[in-house]
Structure 1
Amino acid sequence: MQYAQLGRSGARVSRLVLGTMNFGPHTDEADAFAIMDRAFDEGINFFDTANVYGGAEHRGWTEEIVGRWLAKSGHRDEIVLATKVFGKMSERINDRGLSAFNIRRAVEDSLRRLGTDHIDLYQMHHVDRDTGWDEIWQAMDVLVTQGKITYVGSSNFAGWHIAQGSEAARARHGLGLVTEQSLYNLLARDIELEVLPAAQHYGLGVIAWSPLASGRLGGSSGGVRRAGYKVDDAKAAALAKWEDFCAERELRPGEAALAWLLHRPGVLGPIVGPRTLDQLISALSAFDITFGEEALARIDEIFPGPGGPASEAYAW
């Protein structure tokens, strides 16, 4: 297992992040326990969840499963545990967002479901356009002081949101954000324009979600191609070239796509959200793949990025 620092914090985490979103709705508890057991045995110490995971009818279900595993395994002190706040948890008008009112209640609910007295990385699942940074950081600072959370991260933020949040924290003499969790894969490279540069400037480790583009990068016989994800002719052609590229090197496309993310500057690591134990085992093989400059250049030809950070990507 490879490890890296959690952004500019002193904590060290595995560069493969265990995502738990499938636990409950798509993976039953026994299989989820087996996946977490194997992940821990393989050196994965970074588990990611969210308060809304579990499906519309059972929000919080995934946190409950993770909490029962933590209690059964006895590994709580060895796991860097991350969860999120923002999403709608009920029909109550304040049961969502990043108001101090909701953050206070949401963290208590997550702690109860997870069966722990602290959350190591508490992430804002989305920017809240209706709540000011002074209110958000005041609420987070209280939780840090109380020992209920250790670090704060963001998710789905634009580069300027990262800058806003980081500068607001700096004005309060706080540590601020240490991670950003963003959509990032070979088919979705937009964050290279501004999110990655902002994260690197402010010392945030970037965690890539949907690293296989919902299975599209896993090969024709690989991952799940979910309904609602359309592949136009250009993307279909790129995916065919990707499979040829991997076949020439005797690589599995999904493992190679994860390995590419591990080569990206500023990326802490990808989140893998296995539904089965076999999917977790496959993901672990990404660490065995090394790409040289020639291979990376070929990948850029297949899946062109934006051309660099803004504004160099589109201006002089």
Structure 2
Amino acid sequence: MHAAIEVSALEKTYASGFTALKPLDLAIRRGEIFALLGPNGAGKTTLISIICGIVNPSAGRVLVEGHDILLEPRKTRSLIGLVPQELTTDAFETVWDTVSFSRGLFGKRADPAHIERVLRDLSLWEKRDSKILSLSGGMKRRVLIAKALSHEPQILFLDEPTAGVDVELRRDMWSLVRRLRDEGVTIILTTHYIQEAEEMADRVGVINRGELILVEEKAELMRKLGRKRLVLQLQERLAAIPPSVARENLELAGGGAELVYTYDAKAGRTGITALLGDLAAAGIRFTDLRTEQSSLEDIFVDLVRRAA
């Protein structure tokens, strides 16, 4: 699939000597939702700022739809919509004027029909004549997205798009983002809400201390690194696990009322079958069982801990 963004050997060291990005390679496919995860200070904002032409790289190359960001800055910036974390605009402007002005900044002809469509998609139409200062925090967040979509970008960066908004608004934004993706817009999402990445992303990248430590299809990442747990509700409590049953990743829980077996995709059926056979041979019976799977958040925390 054609890459919307190609990053090659990208580095950034600030004048203070701090290295925000170590040599980094990344290709983001056209029409995908790519979630970029990382702790505070990991390099997410620096990477986005370079691609968007806000910060100059120290070394390396970035292509946006085949155009070099340093050789064709106006062209590449016109292809990108950026939703920052905070709204910086005249508080006394109306929603309509703010969004229309953003379109004009990119040299686009006035298109009231497009602005109306964007505002309606974001449930802002009824607020089109309201001044920015009168809006709630959630509505201001919607205005940020409307401004980024005003010039019809092919690539959309969402930097913490749902920080501080309620659950209903978050779901509305998820629906809009999916619709944009279906229309061919490439979405790059940074978020502290791991559930958001798990819900929306096609692929996930994890960055830590300026290094990209993993890029993987979300489903494949969950399959390869996600661990499962088999929880057996015992008929009678155990004071300890009998030696004939004991094995790695098997432990007592619930005051001896549960046996918990943690396994990965490779161990899977073989490990469970062997465990159940050993339990039957030892006369240990259970009344119920359930399985649990680690979330993307569990995987993310584990990856960052290992990298540290």
Same fold (TM over 0.5): no
**What TM-score, normalized to structure 1?**
0.31
Q: Identify, as 1 or 2, the structure richer in helix.
A: 1
**What TM-score, normalized to structure 2?**
0.32
Q: Whose radius of gyration is greater, 1 or 2?
A: 2
